Chain A
């Protein structure tokens, strides 16, 4: 058993170590990349040794609970896969994929954003909370524009910064009203005040602004329009990290708020959250129907996924926490798997559905992995994505939101339509001989196999864990 602050501290130090190391080694050295891997894997392993149980406090504004630890594991894992994924983009150059530079700083920024997520899930007062969210967002602005010569990337970053700053302003405003209403920064005291006076207009103005602010980052309905442009303009590894880590941080921000300081008015908030979730997943699904560019498509798909995650918050704390964590893990696996495949394809092909034509003949391995990733995102059993979505619905069903659940589940059919569209390109269409051949290296193969196995077994695993002794003694 180790003290709970060790992994956090290591995570904070790692970016500085990486950036400093680069000053002393040659430009071509891959040392920082290996160091980042070793560091993140160590942190991930250490996280598993933190005693889970009672909520512990540190200086009254830093708390550790099982939700926080699992979110840390998710974020670290996501950073690890993201860093491993981005290596191609710094080593090669092609017509479709200009080479990027300053890998150490790139990795440092990713890990910094991850640390921001850690702060969000650990915070127990408003100031720390806000700090964490900003720490998680600001590196993403820089990462979006990492490819300086790409005009689309710069455009995306500009949009992202402008929108993000407005969102931040909304949040600060919401926080200030929340402080003015309760007279305290600390979550527990705010929660007490909220219970005492749940109908105060001051409180509801603050809730409105907080939800709008986080709506930008979580790409909820009226605030989702930046996502497709930014996802398309940013370098692919950044898109992947945006769609996994940033989403995870934003949803845990909402979860911490809803189950922490605002728990007293959760029942009154439920219709708004439900409406937001329903509209968001519907709009995301509608938007994805007519896309033909891979990353724009993934943007809309992730907008609708955000709507689905929000459903879980309608349930009681225990099921919602479990559902969100499980779903985010599986979502991270499926999304990264899809992005690995898209990364291989866009290395020397244009980034559209057409580039997938005939994939099943050219490279059945990738085609099968693509089917697994997309069906998992669509929530088709027996893949883990189904169990993820099922838990979200299950959580919402605990509080009898049947109408909303039925709406969300029916929407799944829409989602299935556009995921099948991609699968059709890969499995049914004839190969296009003018396309360049695909190059898959060993590291990509290993990750694709690992992620696919995780997705396939994710739902079945509890069966084996429960019954391993029975099977042995049978």
Chain B
């Protein structure tokens, strides 16, 4: 009982805090920020507690025992629009709780790094809370309409934050991001309507719809629409173009959020909804996905090598690593699915760390061009080490989370017996080398050598809040990297229903 209330609180609390803070006048900005920060800490605490509880609950259960239905916990299910069978239906399994945990860490660290954001901080923090609400909602809801509402809310919020608080071509970047994501969600809504009407059960409940075998006439058009709609936010090739401009224009916290969490919503929903609902079409279409992945995984890595702007490098690196997630999905083996989920978590933390350190560097040096700076390791060692650890996690150094995730994906997708899949997997392994090139090149030019403009000697190292941010994120990277076993088994409990449905 108390757990259910706590679980609901995860998405209600940010909204409530936002509403409470609205009437407080702007002169109390410090207090407002503290209220927001403490709410983020509370949500992180709740998420961690519930994850631990669920972990202990499921640790003895063998993953295959629950068939093709998600075993949900902390469920709230009440009616909402009776006219078309929509419900307020939220719950959690391992996958969604882990994503919620990731989100809550990034909300907390995002607030810490934007503590001294220029402009109206009250509005900025309120928007972060709305963004947090919508992303929590996406990961928690198991009713398709509810899911869609949260999904679309988040894209709109992004525009206001990027255009209002960003840098550079902020209006352009914000519009590009939001309109592309809106294009994706339009495709999703159209497919959802088709799914609802053809199922004939007057329900948007994901678990009930998962038991319906949809006619192939629907699946053949709805699955590509749905999958590509979700893949837009996962920046799958031809829809990757929003990501570099969007990320580079966004303020630090939003970049962290977009790359760390929002881009994971796409693959999450592909697994959870598209593949789960329409496995027959998935078996037909997913093998063709690998052609798109060649761009994602390899070419975007090459593009990253040529870029000089730190945020563009990281954005293209994200596209490349998101490609690995989709590789895991396209391989359609349980191990590859597990690897995909691990990569979602791992990349979420490491890219947040990337963008956080880049934001800290940018706020001091006022440039993101790696050729314009050098020797920063000497003046700001703490931030420099944070950047290097993120880079190592990114290129898959054993001991950090990236290695676990990528190795699982490669092994899993090599298990798929089609020779095309194996060739693409071998090509994808090369992406590690490409990653190493751009990460090391950036770190080398920026962090080592003589301190290049002399004015940089006076720059301060990380302050307390920034240190906390870096420590939290680095800790998460090591936690996954050094103890992969517990998290892998935990993930398998929610992967197995999807896989069972896929091979039905």
The reply to whether B182 and A412 contact each other, CB–CB distance below 8 Å, is: yes
Within 78-96 of A, Cβ neighbours of B (below 8 Å) are at none
The reply to whether A400 and B197 contact each other, CB–CB distance below 8 Å, is: yes
Contacts of A231 on B, CB cut-off 8 Å? none
Is A270 among interface residues, defined by CB-CB distance under 8 A? no
What band does the interface of chain B fall in when counting residues whose beta carbon is under 8 Å from A?
Answer: 35 or more
Is B476 among interface residues, defined by CB-CB distance under 8 A? no
The reply to whether B171 and A470 contact each other, CB–CB distance below 8 Å, is: no
Is A24 among interface residues, defined by CB-CB distance under 8 A? no
Is B291 among interface residues, defined by CB-CB distance under 8 A? no
Q: Which residue of A lies closest to B155 (CB)?
A: A380
Contacts of B178 on A, CB cut-off 8 Å? 416, 420
The reply to whether B80 and A463 contact each other, CB–CB distance below 8 Å, is: yes
Given A380-B152, A428-B170, A428-B171, the answer on whether A410 and B196 have CB atoms closer than 8 Å is no
The reply to whether B225 and A394 contact each other, CB–CB distance below 8 Å, is: no
Which stretch (B30-38, B183-191, B375-383) binds chain A?
B183-191
Is A322 among interface residues, defined by CB-CB distance under 8 A? yes
The reply to whether A393 and B189 contact each other, CB–CB distance below 8 Å, is: yes
Selected contact of B190 from candidates A398, A402, A420, A424, CB within 8 Å:
A402
Within 327-355 of B, Cβ neighbours of A (below 8 Å) are at none
Q: How far is B225's CA from A405's CA once the two chains are assembled, in angstroms?
A: 13
Contacts of A405 on B, CB cut-off 8 Å? 190, 193
The reply to whether B179 and A424 contact each other, CB–CB distance below 8 Å, is: no
Contact with A along B110-139 (1 / 0, CB 8 A): 000000000000000000000000000000
Is A58 among interface residues, defined by CB-CB distance under 8 A? no
Selected contact of A322 from candidates B83, B163, B179, CB within 8 Å:
B83
Is B41 among interface residues, defined by CB-CB distance under 8 A? no
Contacts of B160 on A, CB cut-off 8 Å? 371, 423, 427
Given A409-B190, A417-B175, A462-B80, the answer on whether A381 and B196 have CB atoms closer than 8 Å is no
The reply to whether A386 and B171 contact each other, CB–CB distance below 8 Å, is: no
Q: How far is B196's CA from A391's CA once the two chains are assembled, in angstroms?
A: 13
Is A382 among interface residues, defined by CB-CB distance under 8 A? yes
Within 412-435 of A, Cβ neighbours of B (below 8 Å) are at 412-413, 416-417, 420, 423-424, 427-428
* Chain B facing A: main interface SS: helix
Contacts of A413 on B, CB cut-off 8 Å? 179, 182-183, 186
The reply to whether B164 and A427 contact each other, CB–CB distance below 8 Å, is: yes
Contacts of A391 on B, CB cut-off 8 Å? 84
Is A44 among interface residues, defined by CB-CB distance under 8 A? no
We find that the number of chain A residues with CB closer than 8 angstroms to chain B is: 35
Contacts of B225 on A, CB cut-off 8 Å? 406
Q: Which residue of B lies closest to A416 (CB)?
A: B182
Q: How far is B164's CA from A371's CA once the two chains are assembled, in angstroms?
A: 13
Contacts of A216 on B, CB cut-off 8 Å? none
The reply to whether A410 and B187 contact each other, CB–CB distance below 8 Å, is: yes
Given A428-B164, A466-B80, the answer on whether A402 and B183 have CB atoms closer than 8 Å is no
The reply to whether A409 and B189 contact each other, CB–CB distance below 8 Å, is: yes
Is B149 among interface residues, defined by CB-CB distance under 8 A? yes
Given A394-B84, A410-B187, A416-B179, the answer on whether A428 and B78 have CB atoms closer than 8 Å is no
Given A398-B197, A409-B186, A428-B163, the answer on whether A420 and B175 have CB atoms closer than 8 Å is yes
Is A269 among interface residues, defined by CB-CB distance under 8 A? no
Within 383-406 of A, Cβ neighbours of B (below 8 Å) are at 386-387, 390-391, 393-394, 397-398, 400, 402, 405-406
Selected contact of B193 from candidates A322, A360, A402, A423, CB within 8 Å:
A402
Q: How far is B221's CA from A405's CA once the two chains are assembled, in angstroms?
A: 13
Contact with A along B138-167 (1 / 0, CB 8 A): 000000010011101100100110011000
Query: Shortest Cβ distance from A114 into chain B, in angstroms?
Result: 28
Query: Shortest Cβ distance from B293 into chain A, in angstroms?
Result: 25
Contacts of A129 on B, CB cut-off 8 Å? none
Q: How far is B182's CA from A142's CA once the two chains are assembled, in angstroms?
A: 42
Q: How far is B26's CA from A163's CA once the two chains are assembled, in angstroms?
A: 53
Q: How far is B197's CA from A398's CA once the two chains are assembled, in angstroms?
A: 6
The reply to whether A467 and B148 contact each other, CB–CB distance below 8 Å, is: no
The reply to whether A381 and B193 contact each other, CB–CB distance below 8 Å, is: no
Within 197-224 of B, Cβ neighbours of A (below 8 Å) are at 197, 221
Contacts of B79 on A, CB cut-off 8 Å? 466-467
Contacts of B148 on A, CB cut-off 8 Å? 381
Contacts of A462 on B, CB cut-off 8 Å? 80-82
Q: How far is B274's CA from A352's CA once the two chains are assembled, in angstroms?
A: 44
Is B88 among interface residues, defined by CB-CB distance under 8 A? yes
Is A130 among interface residues, defined by CB-CB distance under 8 A? no
Contacts of B84 on A, CB cut-off 8 Å? 391, 394
Contacts of B187 on A, CB cut-off 8 Å? 406, 409-410
Contacts of B67 on A, CB cut-off 8 Å? none
The reply to whether B197 and A380 contact each other, CB–CB distance below 8 Å, is: no
Q: Which residue of A lies closest to B175 (CB)?
A: A420
Q: Which residue of A lies closest to B191 (CB)?
A: A406
Q: How far is B88's CA from A173's CA once the two chains are assembled, in angstroms?
A: 51
Contact with A along B69-95 (1 / 0, CB 8 A): 000000000111111100010000000
Is B238 among interface residues, defined by CB-CB distance under 8 A? no
The reply to whether A381 and B186 contact each other, CB–CB distance below 8 Å, is: no
Q: How far is B77's CA from A470's CA once the two chains are assembled, in angstroms?
A: 11
Q: How far is B145's CA from A394's CA once the two chains are assembled, in angstroms?
A: 12
Q: Which residue of B lies closest to A415 (CB)?
A: B182
Contacts of B398 on A, CB cut-off 8 Å? none
The reply to whether A397 and B194 contact each other, CB–CB distance below 8 Å, is: yes
Q: How far is B193's CA from A406's CA once the two chains are assembled, in angstroms?
A: 9
Contact with B along A348-381 (1 / 0, CB 8 A): 0000000000001000000000010001000011
Given A322-B83, A394-B84, A466-B78, the answer on whether A380 and B156 have CB atoms closer than 8 Å is yes
The reply to whether B183 and A410 contact each other, CB–CB distance below 8 Å, is: yes
Q: How far is B88's CA from A462's CA once the two chains are assembled, in angstroms?
A: 11
Q: How far is B449's CA from A320's CA once the two chains are assembled, in angstroms?
A: 70
Contacts of A375 on B, CB cut-off 8 Å? 156
Q: How far is B164's CA from A360's CA once the two chains are assembled, in angstroms?
A: 10
The reply to whether A402 and B163 contact each other, CB–CB distance below 8 Å, is: no
Contacts of B150 on A, CB cut-off 8 Å? 381
Query: Shortest Cβ distance from B12 into chain A, in angstroms?
Result: 13
The reply to whether B78 and A470 contact each other, CB–CB distance below 8 Å, is: yes
Q: How far is B178's CA from A261's CA once the two chains are assembled, in angstroms?
A: 45
Contacts of B196 on A, CB cut-off 8 Å? 397
Query: Shortest Cβ distance from B70 into chain A, in angstroms?
Result: 23
Task: Please indicate which of the listed interface residues B160, B186, B194, B225 has the most CB atoms of chain A within 10 Å of its own CB.
Answer: B186
Q: Which residue of B lies closest to A474 (CB)?
A: B5
Q: How far is B156's CA from A413's CA once the two chains are assembled, in angstroms?
A: 12
Within 228-282 of B, Cβ neighbours of A (below 8 Å) are at none
Query: Shortest Cβ distance from B481 into chain A, in angstroms?
Result: 38
Query: Shortest Cβ distance from A164 into chain B, in angstroms?
Result: 36
Query: Shortest Cβ distance from A413 into chain B, in angstroms?
Result: 5
Q: How far is B149's CA from A390's CA once the two chains are assembled, in angstroms?
A: 11
Query: Shortest Cβ distance from B492 into chain A, in angstroms?
Result: 33
The reply to whether A386 and B149 contact each other, CB–CB distance below 8 Å, is: yes
Query: Shortest Cβ distance from A327 into chain B, in angstroms?
Result: 13
Given A397-B196, A412-B186, A416-B182, the answer on whether A381 and B149 have CB atoms closer than 8 Å is yes
Q: How far is B355's CA from A464's CA once the two chains are assembled, in angstroms?
A: 41
Query: Shortest Cβ distance from B172 into chain A, in angstroms?
Result: 10
Contacts of A390 on B, CB cut-off 8 Å? 145, 189
Not counting A380-B153, A409-B186, A413-B183, a sample of 4 additional A-B residue pairs whose C-beta atoms are within 8 angstroms of each other reads: A371-B160, A393-B189, A397-B193, A416-B182
Q: Which residues of A are at the interface with B, using a C-beta cutoff of 8 A?
A: 322, 360, 371, 375, 380-382, 386-387, 390-391, 393-394, 397-398, 400, 402, 405-406, 409-410, 412-413, 416-417, 420, 423-424, 427-428, 462-463, 466-467, 470
Q: Which residues of B are at the interface with A, using a C-beta cutoff of 8 A?
A: 78-84, 88, 145, 148-150, 152-153, 156, 159-160, 163-164, 170-171, 175, 178-179, 182-183, 186-187, 189-190, 193-194, 196-197, 221, 225
Sort A-B residue pairs by CB-CB distance and give the 5 closest, nearest first.
A381-B149, A406-B190, A409-B186, A397-B193, A463-B80
Q: List 21 A-B contacts (CB under 8 A).
A: A322-B83, A380-B153, A381-B149, A381-B150, A387-B81, A393-B193, A400-B197, A402-B190, A405-B190, A406-B190, A410-B183, A412-B182, A412-B186, A417-B175, A420-B178, A423-B160, A424-B163, A424-B171, A427-B163, A466-B78, A467-B88
